[in-house]
Amino acid sequence: MKIAVLYGGTSGEREVSLSTGKGIIQALKENGHEVTGIDFHPERLDELLKLRVDLVFIGLHGKFGEDGKIQGLLDILDIPYVGSGVLASALAMDKAKAKQIFEKNQLPVAKGIAIPVKRHTQQEIIDLIQGKFTPPYVVKPNQEGSTLGLTIVKKGEQLPEAVKNAVQSDDMLLVEEFISGREFTVAVIGSQGEEQALPVIEIIPKNDYYDFDSKYKPGGSEHIIPARISDSLTGQLQTYAVRAHQLLGCDVYSRVDFIVTEAGEPVVLEVNTLPGMTPTSLFPDAAKVVGWSYEQMVEQFVTLSLKNKQ
């Protein structure tokens, strides 16, 4: 088939997307498809308007890629694409909205508040946070990926800088209780009630938490698959992952991140509708355990996407 791969983009995750795009393009070519790679930029929309392809594989991450905007444009152009649609993409990117949906459906989430940045001065934001939280707690942009702009505030004097970092990339700031525990992630594949969870991965970051460097630098973290946990906890995480995927209306594939507290209680952190596909990424690692090569995994996404569009 003729498949276009969108990668790069303009978000803070551009470098990650370049690596994701490279992997996807190579895999599609090895699978026998005719591939066009497009380093996407909102100022070059004519590249999309001229597309004559059977499918678009979105290898973008973050804003203008994972938030539903590019999906909406492709819908208008009537071009099929791999992955979740507009609404699911937008909801997953909006962490506060996703948490509301999870909480109403009995999925455990961290306690927190969302603060509209434009309605408050920076000092008012600081005062509001100090009035509701005591360290440690987490300050992060509401719509950003790869932990960009995230700070774990361990001492009160760190708060002004944490707020400054978070508001640089978003108009909504999210503050959450800090939950100490082990980090896990579950890849989900499938759609329309036939989703399946892949083996649970335990993430052991080299840094204090699973930050940008831990995610994307070689040796930044250790991935243990299957995770060293009980069968019951494995089943619980997989059930929660599929449920989160379904509640947001995700399609074809996603990855759901968790913290498991020291008491053994899972907490849903977020859903990634376009998880990374780099050499250090988690989804390909999970696929490998169930016997899929990178190329086979990518072809699964293509097949599922075309089946859903028919």
> Has 146 been annotated as catalytic?
yes
**Rounded to whole angstroms, what are the CA distances from 129 to 95, 99, 116?**
18, 19, 12
Residue 272's closest CA among 262, 258, 290, 291? Answer: 258
Are 100 and 92 a contacting pair, CB within 8 Å? no
Q: What pLDDT is recorded for position 233?
A: 98
Q: Which of 7, 17, 276, 305 is catalytic?
A: 276
Sequence length of the chain is: 310
Residue 250, class by beta-carbon neighbours within 10 Å (0-12 exposed, 13-18 middle, 19+ buried)?
A: buried
**What backbone torsions phi and psi does residue 272 show, to the nearest 5 degrees?**
-105, 115
Q: What pLDDT is recorded for position 148?
A: 81
At 287, which amino acid appears? A
Q: Which of 8, 257, 281, 299 is catalytic?
A: 257
> Has 272 been annotated as catalytic?
yes
pLDDT in tens, the chain (310 residues): 999 999 999 988 899 999 999 999 999 999 999 999 999 999 999 999 999 999 999 999 988 899 999 999 999 999 999 999 999 999 999 999 999 999 999 999 999 999 999 889 999 999 999 999 999 999 999 988 657 889 999 999 999 999 998 888 788 999 999 999 999 999 999 987 899 999 999 999 876 655 556 555 666 689 999 999 999 999 999 999 999 999 999 999 999 999 999 999 999 999 999 999 987 899 999 999 999 999 999 999 999 998 876 6
Q: What pLDDT is recorded for position 3?
A: 98
DSSP 8-class letter at 209: S
> Has 270 been annotated as catalytic?
yes
Q: Which of 84, 146, 221, 254 is catalytic?
A: 146
Are 9 and 64 a contacting pair, CB within 8 Å? yes
Read out DSSP for 247-271? Answer: HHT--EEEEEEEEEETTS-EEEEEE
Q: What pLDDT is recorded for position 147?
A: 73
Q: Which of 145, 255, 294, 299 is catalytic?
A: 255
The β-bridge partners of 270 are 257
Read out DSSP for 105-120? Answer: TT--B--EEEEEGGGS
Q: What pLDDT is recorded for position 210?
A: 56
Q: Which of 81, 216, 240, 294 is catalytic?
A: 216
Residue showing tokens 């980090």: 183
**Rounded to whole angstroms, what are the CA distances from 225 to 17, 168, 262?**
24, 36, 20
Question: Which tokens belong to 199?
Answer: 């083996």
> Has 156 been annotated as catalytic?
no
Question: Which tokens belong to 49?
Answer: 């308007």
Q: Which of 7, 9, 12, 13 is catalytic?
A: 13
> Has 119 been annotated as catalytic?
no
Provide the edge-to-edge strand list for the sheet that holds 34-40.
Answer: 34-40, 2-8, 55-58
Are 295 and 27 a contacting pair, CB within 8 Å? yes
> Has 144 been annotated as catalytic?
no
Q: Which of 15, 54, 75, 270 is catalytic?
A: 270
Q: Which of 272, 281, 299, 305 is catalytic?
A: 272
**Rounded to whole angstroms, what are the CA distances from 134 to 157, 159, 175?**
12, 11, 11
